Amino acid sequence: MRFLSARSDFDHNRFFAGIARGIAGALLFALPMLMTMEMWELGFYMDRTRLLVLLLINLPLLVILSDKVGFEETSTWRQAIRDANIAYALGILASGLILVAMGVVKADQSFHEIIGMIAIQAVPASIGAMLGRSQLGGQSADNGDGDRDTDNDDPVHRRETSYSGELFLMAVGALFLSLNVAPTEEMILLSYKMSPWHALLVIAASLMVMHGFVYALSFKGSHDLAEGTPSWHAFVRFTLPGYVIAGLISTYCLWTFHRTDDVGSTQILMAIVILSFPGAIGAAAARLIL
């Protein structure tokens, strides 16, 4: 998806198709949260400092994500920042339109409430808009030989990712799934229901599912170990760091959404373990879908 063309003859059809993909990606990623009551309520009472921190964190995240799997292959920071701003704008637009269409945002509400609801929803929506190309890439024009190239042949999809880049994509995947469930009351409810043995089982299950999701199953985009590489290498190099990242992301999400306020340390730890389960799956699946 390209929003701007380096050619003198600007391709309007491609431009508007890119806008449509961005909005579709925003809806694909954010719709579950747009229809979640806890997310609406957060727009009313969420601490504005925490909301501002979340919004500020999302900006560099989008810039780096733009460089790796964004609208097009970027060669400068200016291009990455441009695409990140477009994705953020599409996320805000899609969130506002859906909230108005569902009757969540009304004219008689205060400006403070409206801005809060749209701002918090715009974070996952902007990530979805940025990933609109990789998720919803269509076919390009005929290449002159009678064949049609797909977006999967673009440099964006052929780009190699460094180890640090892999960890970053894991963090994005963990953040996306964690954002879906962190605002819900069930996180706190489960933390009270779980025993230490349950927590250990969830941790073990998270590691096994995370490792198997990418390395044991033959999914597109999974990592193939080089011949002669020990089987534990991938576990130590990717799975364990990925789970730690998922845990840190989960902790941040719980704090941001006030799920750690006035809660005992044991329940906080249990909530982190529970939230790290979908976070770990998101981290493992990130490289498959981004």
Give the pLDDT score at 69.
Answer: 63
> By the 8 A CB rule, do 289 and 130 touch?
no
- 252 pLDDT band, cuts 50/70/90, is very high
Query: Strand, coil or helix: what is 236?
Result: helix
Q: Which tokens go with 201?
A: 């089982």
> By the 8 A CB rule, do 286 and 223 touch?
no
Percent pLDDT > 70 in the chain is 75
> pLDDT tens digits for 220-245?
455 555 566 666 777 888 889 989 99
Q: How far apart are CA 91 and CA 119, in angstroms?
A: 9
Phi and psi of 195, rounded to 5°? -100, 170
Is the model's pLDDT at 34 over the cut of 80? yes
| Residue among 161, 210, 188, 201 at smallest CA distance from 259 | 188
Is the model's pLDDT at 248 over the cut of 50? yes
142, burial (CB in 10 Å: exposed 0-12, middle 13-18, buried 19+): exposed
Domain ranges across the chain: 12-157, 160-289
> pLDDT tens digits for 175-222?
888 888 888 888 888 888 888 999 999 999 999 988 887 665 544 455
- 7 pLDDT band, cuts 50/70/90, is very low
> By the 8 A CB rule, do 223 and 166 touch?
no
Which residues, including other chains, have CB under 8 Å from residue 197's CB and lie 6 or more apart?
A: none
- 246 pLDDT band, cuts 50/70/90, is very high
Helices in 10-138 by DSSP H: which ranges?
Answer: 12-34, 37-45, 48-69, 77-101, 111-130, 132-136
Is the model's pLDDT at 258 over the cut of 50? yes
Which DSSP state fits 272? H
Q: Which of 190-194, 246-250, 286-290 has the highest mean pLDDT?
A: 246-250
Partners of 150 in the β-ladder = 139
Give the pLDDT score at 192.
Answer: 87
Q: Round the average pLDDT of the chain to a whole number and report it.
A: 78
Least confident interval from 101-110, 136-145, 255-264: 136-145
Is the model's pLDDT at 154 over the cut of 50? no
Query: Strand, coil or helix: what is 218?
Result: coil
Q: How far apart are CA 260 and CA 30, in angstroms?
A: 24
> pLDDT tens digits for 50-74?
999 999 999 888 888 887 665 555 5
Least confident interval from 11-15, 124-128, 254-258: 11-15
Give the pLDDT score at 140.
Answer: 44
- 30 pLDDT band, cuts 50/70/90, is confident
